[in-house]
A = this chain, B = another copy of it.
């Protein structure tokens, strides 16, 4: 089977990192197709960036020329899963929900440990809408930016994440930890050793769930919420069809310059 693995930010090395973790757990008959959005932020840590990533991810899927059997959305706490579910028929698995489902199977309560405080409200929102918040002990941030998951800063990041995981276990009574950022994929073994409870990697779990759904022959319910959008005039869609070489565009300042 063919699974699209969608990074939510525009940093190719992070796409590669998630793909490496995914490949390690994927079944022998699974082909993983890692995709990076063609526009958006180099890391996603807030609503502006997350909404932009949701559209960039949908754009990437809508313009992907090949066939596929499932999608894994590899952004922890980001918007976009429901939109994808409308425009494709194959299963879409968000690593946020996948991680939590894994955690619910392994312990009574779970905590999410993420990089930056800005991601906490987004993760909370996603889990509230997913109806998966009730057994959540806490959502903790290590006070780091997503970009610090890159290779050179990884040692400090690992220590900070593990320390936060320990606090979740000791202070919030978490029995399982979810790694709350796709960039943390691969740290499972280390954090487990440090905090003494099972640690769930959303990318691993999502790939495995996507495989399960495909093998069992499941598809997204199209009866109501996720039915295909009715045909209507949509200006400028897909975004990249109208954009002149978005890859070449430079960083933008997202603050409106004109507020009194």
Report Cα–Cα, A14/B22, bound state, in Å: 37
Write the nearest CB–CB distance from A150 to chain B, whole angstroms: 13
Quick check: A239 and B239 within 8 Å, CB to CB? yes
User: Which of B51, B228, B245, B260 has a CB less than 8 Å from the CB of A254?
Assistant: B228
A249 at the interface (CB under 8 A from B): yes
Known A-B contacts A86-B48, A105-B213, A106-B218; the reply to A242 vs B243 at CB < 8 A is: yes
- Residues in B whose Cβ lies below 8 Å from that of A235: 10, 38-42, 246-247, 249, 251
A contact residues, total (Cβ < 8 Å)? 120
Question: Which one of A65-73, A152-160, A178-186 is at the B interface?
Answer: A65-73
Quick check: B25 and A215 within 8 Å, CB to CB? yes
Q: Is the interface of A mostly helix, strand, loop or mixed?
A: loop
Write the nearest CB–CB distance from A49 to chain B, whole angstroms: 6
A residues 44-73 near B (Cβ < 8 Å) are: 45-52, 54-55, 58, 61-62, 64-69
A171 at the interface (CB under 8 A from B): no
Report Cα–Cα, A105/B131, bound state, in Å: 12
Quick check: A254 and B242 within 8 Å, CB to CB? no
Quick check: A169 and B223 within 8 Å, CB to CB? yes
Pairs across A and B, CB under 8 Å, 18 listed: A39-B235, A40-B235, A46-B86, A51-B80, A88-B256, A102-B218, A107-B220, A107-B223, A108-B221, A118-B225, A118-B227, A131-B134, A175-B223, A197-B221, A211-B212, A232-B251, A233-B250, A234-B251
